[in-house]
Amino acid sequence: MAPQQLPPQTLSLRASLVGSEPEIWREIEIADGVSLAQLHQVLQIVFGWQQSHLHRFSEQDPWSSRRGIPRIGPEPREWLDQWSLIEQDGDGEDEAEAILADAFSRGGPLWYEYDFGDGWVHRIEMIGSRLAEIGEPLVRLVAGARRGPFEDSGGIGGYAEKLAIMADPRHPEHAEITEWARFVAGPWGSIDPDDADLDGARSELELLTGAPPADMSGLVDSARGVVDDSPIVEFASNLPVPYRTNLRRHLRATGVLDPVELDEAAAAALMRPYLWLLDHIGDGGLTLTQAGWMPPADVAAAVEALELRLVYGKGNREQSTREVAGLRESATQLRLIRKIKGRLELTARVRTIRHDPRAVSAQIAHALLPQRMDDAERIASVVLVLGLADGTFTTSDEARAAVVDIVNGFGYRDQDGRQLDRYWFRPLTRSVQDVLTVVGLWRWVPGGEAPPTDALRAFARMALR
């Protein structure tokens, strides 16, 4: 009699990090036809690992085998990825060709080791099984507790030691270790050891196992005005899994993407320089000098009307009055105005809205981040606007440090292969800073920089959406 094929099963697996106290664990339901290579991807997501190290599956506890503890029963099997198989001359089985039904055919448990230096060992037990239901997902995260350890924290002992230091403000290494943990957790990541972020992991599992969605960011929400081509959606879609998960949760926790509008008075005050320029050019346009500059009288009128504090110059030559030159340049980049045959003219869209401060502010917000930039500039610019929108950045020093650190974290380097220093902040964010400076970001007041206003932060939120 020919063997009968068993119907598809859904397995209930419990994975726990060996030696963790309190225990770090996850329970998942997963199809028995899923490969161990796919299970590796699932474990990376649910424990918050960052795919930074080698791994392997085995039927034998790695700690026991290293201590020479004898094992009773069949020779334990081991599964590796293809690269590791080549390095070990084929000693082991291919994880991509092994499905869970076969891997657990001896009853388990399985052991998943990640990062052979730190030695993160996960015990995977099959705690139940049932017939698979038609249409159910390949994998589902059921429950869990505590976040996975920080990468490269020195194994279970090193992680426990770092948590103890972070919990003790009086420890001499408290500030250093806390700063290191924030760096390792990545932008917008949590360093709370009790924060498992199960919802974030569930969202990433849906992206991993389902059909490729139109929205890789998980942020599109037409009811809130967050659409496919929103700058924050395009930005999040290209992030690696841990960063994307962290960002998604951060945005929801802070309400940054909630609908926001400026009232007419706030919009008029914030957009005052642009509104003046649009009104000054008017429907009739503005004739430039033969050299292509704004006439001296018009430059002087801008300085007087906008009460500009000049860094240098007499305020009647555009080429030596950078405040006016910057206003004109940024308005051109935002496509509010254009130069045609020796004249400045309003663009067609702006002609219809120039007397409406709220419409002008919405137009500028919509155009702020889609300006022409390379990849590093776009990352830096979105991070700057996000830090203003969520209240993270109060001073330019805070923004400079955080933006450059994040760009470095994405692997960008200077022409000599070195990490970028703080002086890169301005070149990386120039096109966005030029606009934000016009609307008053970090303007100088007696005593130092003025913090961003509520209206400017609301404008930043509009720009992300």
Phi, psi at 15, each rounded to 5°: -110, 130
Tens digits of residue pLDDT in 55-84 = 999 999 887 656 556 666 678 999 999 888
- Does residue 178 fall inside a structural domain? no
**Helix 425-438 vs helix 396-409: crossing angle, to nearest 10:** 140
Tens digits of residue pLDDT in 2-29 = 555 668 999 999 999 999 999 999 999 9
SS3 content of the chain, % helix, strand, coil (to 5): 45, 15, 40
Consecutive H or E run containing 425? helix 425-438
Task: Report the Cα–Cα distance between both ends of the chain, in Å, rounded.
Answer: 64
**One domain for residues 396 and 453:** yes
Is 117 in contact with 11 (CB distance < 8 Å)? no
- Does residue 269 fall inside a structural domain? yes
- Does residue 48 fall inside a structural domain? yes
**One domain for residues 253 and 268:** no
Domain range enclosing 302:
264-363
Nearest alpha-carbon partner for 355 in 439, 275, 273: 275
Is 428 in contact with 403 (CB distance < 8 Å)? yes
**One domain for residues 275 and 349:** yes
**One domain for residues 329 and 451:** no
pLDDT tens, residue order, the chain (465 aa): 455 566 899 999 999 999 999 999 999 999 999 999 999 999 999 999 988 899 999 999 887 656 556 666 678 999 999 888 887 766 789 999 999 999 999 998 999 999 999 999 999 999 999 999 998 999 999 999 999 999 999 999 999 999 999 999 999 999 999 999 998 888 898 999 999 999 889 988 988 877 556 677 888 888 888 888 899 999 998 888 888 889 988 998 899 999 998 999 999 999 999 999 999 999 999 999 999 999 999 999 999 999 887 766 677 888 888 889 999 999 999 999 999 999 999 999 999 999 999 999 999 999 999 999 999 999 999 999 999 999 999 999 999 999 999 999 888 999 999 999 999 999 999 999 999 999 999 988 888 899 999 999 999 999 999
Phi, psi at 444, each rounded to 5°: -85, 130
**One domain for residues 254 and 284:** no
**One domain for residues 65 and 94:** yes
Nearest alpha-carbon partner for 424 in 360, 355, 376, 358: 376
Query: Count of domains in the chain?
Result: 3
Question: Residues with Cβ < 8 Å from 130, sequence gap 6 or more?
Answer: 9, 10, 12
d(CA 102, CA 36): 10
Q: Which DSSP letter does residue 288 get?
A: P
- Does residue 87 fall inside a structural domain? yes
Residue the block writes with tokens 């209240």: 391
Q: Which two tokens stand for residue 183?
A: 């760096």
Phi, psi at 213, each rounded to 5°: -75, 160
Q: Which two tokens stand for residue 464?
A: 């992300």
Nearest alpha-carbon partner for 218 in 249, 187, 195: 249
